[in-house]
Amino acid sequence: MEQVFYNSTRGSIKNISSSQAIIKGIAEDGGLLVPEKFPYVKDMLVKMKKMDYKELAYFIMSRYLTDFEESELKACIKGAYGSKFDSQDVAPVKKVGETYFLELFHGPTLAFKDMALSILPYLLKTAVKKQNINKEVVILTATSGDTGKAALEGFSDVEGTSIIVFFPEDGVSEIQKRQMTAHKGKNTHVVGVLGNFDDTQNGVKEIFTDNEYSELLDKKGYMFSSANSINIGRLIPQVVYYFHAYLNILSEDEIAKDEKVNFVVPTGNFGNILAAYYAKEMGLPINKLICASNDNKVLYDFMGSGRYDRTRQFFTTISPSMDILISSNLERLLFEISGKDSEKIKELMALLKDKGVYDITSEMKEKLYDFYGGYAKEEETKNTIRKIFKTKGYLMDTHTAVAYNVYEKYLEETKDDTKTVIVSTASPYKFTSSVMTSIDEKYAQFSDFKLMDEMSKLSGLDIPQPIKDIETRPVIHKTTCPRDKMKDVVSDILNI
């Protein structure tokens, strides 16, 4: 297989191997690591049609992680996508009316981040071994809810690692919070930050890019790595399910060979939809990538105007995993559409940091034609959940409903009859209160926990195993801290 090397979007790192890139997480200059080129596989779609999820995962990932041995990568895939998923298919595609739903929530935490976070620990462990590193890997991660638990699940009791998860204390659902604070595992730490997700994420980023602090850690026998969606080891596994969805529909003869489809992706940090863009660059027949936002519609504005402006009011919505004003992975797209111009990326990211606003060039903007941006207001999201449940019997979570609503707007505006896949990112059980009150206000008086039973009665869907007894699990992690004390908390935990 042809070797693929990795570079920083901001230019400081060139030609490192995939295992080095996974260990690094983020470049010293704050840039993100990107493959120097996209492996092209369009001619092999027919061959891929026969593969199951794990075989397909190997086929795609081996083209990016070219310094992994076949046996190493296959062991990672087997560990990740074996018994932890409640569906043989890992990511089933459901047809509802004329639309397809790619359900990415059949893993241990009922949300799409399991797709990548169940494999990242294996990739990281293997990468560390390959590079002969004798340090304890400390995973430091900021979460808007789902990443945290998924990362805890992935890294729990993995030898040679420990994990510290920061989450916005009042920015996650009751169930999400309990999932994290009740998590067992000797090497796990969970901390509530008194701020919003951007504060939390920026705090973690600052710790990562603090060189003095890294040196101190190094002396003490630790090294940081990130489980956040900026790690290339999370992005690449996500490319797989776009192929999987396409091949699934193709196998059912719903589309002809080479026929294009649209994907609608509920977007926050821009990781999931970026993986779809990578799939398109690899030759997957995709027409439009429809980027769906909630009231924090910074990406919708960007797609329309070419201006990214984070200086705006932040909204806490019923789709909290998309409540983000700085979509970190967008930097990787900017890098591609600028013609891999790291000087330009440095300039734009400096503007974002200092002024909160940047404008892309008109040449870059033209290259956004693959994308369509839309957003859903809170009431629209709720109405969509109710309408689709009442008319089609399909119960969506709030994030998926944002995507569906944006798709309806896209249809009305463009009349595009291309077959379309809605990327379904969470189980409705993960956001029971918002989902149930969307259907009927009377559920407002119930607790999240109680509502799980009500949802099961209403929908006929069993309560998923991982959250069945959640209410009775004791809270183990009780630490909270202000935004500017995050580093001190890390030092406390690591005893340095």
Distance of alpha carbon 460 from alpha carbon 294, whole angstroms: 28
Residue 426 found at the interface with ligand PLP (CB under 6 A) = yes
Q: What is the DSSP letter of 11?
A: S
Paired tokens of 469: 């007894």
Q: Tell me the torsion sign for CA atoms 146, 150, 152, 155.
A: negative
Asked if 405 interacts with ligand PLP (CB under 6 A), we say no
Cα four-point dihedral sign 263, 269, 271, 274: positive
The interface with ligand PLP within residues 47-66 (CB under 6 A) comprises: none
Closest C-alpha to 396, from 420, 419, 429, 421: 429
Using rule CB under 6 A, residue 294 touches ligand PLP: no
Instruction: Report, in Å, the least distance between residue 257 CB and ligand PLP.
Output: 30
Q: How many Å apart are CA 18 and CA 5, to the nearest integer? A: 6
Contacts of 98 (CB under 8 A, 6+ apart): none
Q: Which is nearer to ligand PLP, 111 or 139 (CB)?
A: 111
Nearer to ligand PLP, 111 or 240 (CB): 111
- Other Cβ atoms less than 10 A from the Cβ of 158: the count is 17
Structure tokens at 182: 């009740």
Residue choice 7, 294, 425, 437 for contact with ligand PLP (CB under 6 A):
425
Quick one: which of 38, 246, 270, 375 contacts ligand PLP (CB under 6 A)? 270
* Footprint on residues 314-343 left by ligand PLP (CB under 6 A): 321-322
Ramachandran angles phi, psi of 283, nearest 5°: 110, 5
113 belongs to the catalytic site: yes
**Dihedrals phi, psi of 375, to nearest 5 degrees:** -150, 160
**Which CB sits closer to ligand PLP, 9 or 267?**
267
Q: Which of 107, 171, 203, 271 binds ligand PLP (CB under 6 A)?
A: 271
Contact between 237 and ligand PLP (CB under 6 A)?
A: no
Query: Alpha-carbon distance 493 to 341, whole Å?
Result: 40
Residues 2-41 that bind ligand PLP (CB under 6 A): none
For the stretch 111-144, what's the b/e string if a residue is b when 16 or more beta carbons lie within 10 angstroms of its beta carbon? Answer: bbbbbbbbbbbbbbbbbbebeeeeebbbbbbbbb
What CA–CA distance (Å, rounded) separates 491 from 277?
Answer: 38
State which of residues 173, 272, 317, 434 lies at the interface with ligand PLP (CB under 6 A).
Answer: 272
- Smallest gap from residue 300 Cβ to ligand PLP (A): 13
Residue 239 lies near ligand PLP (rule: CB under 6 A):
no
- The answer to whether residue 242 forms part of the interface with ligand PLP (CB under 6 A) is no
Q: Does 200 bind ligand PLP (CB under 6 A)?
A: no
Which structure tokens are listed for 284? 């997957």
Q: How far is the CB of 84 from ligand PLP (least distance, A)?
A: 17
Contact status: 464 vs ligand PLP (CB under 6 A): no
Among residues 49, 50, 94, 113, which one is catalytic?
113
> Which tokens sit at 294?
């909630």
The CA-CA-CA angle for residues 359, 363, 365, to 5°, reads 55
Considering only 268, 373, 374, 428, the residue that binds ligand PLP (CB under 6 A) is 268
Q: Does 422 bind ligand PLP (CB under 6 A)?
A: no
Subset of 105-134 contacting ligand PLP (CB under 6 A): 111-113
Q: Could you say whether residue 399 binds ligand PLP (CB under 6 A)?
A: yes
* Residue 68 vs 278, nearer CB to ligand PLP: 278
Residues that bind ligand PLP (CB under 6 A): 111-113, 146, 229, 266-272, 321-322, 399, 425-426
Would you name the residues annotated as active-site residues? 113
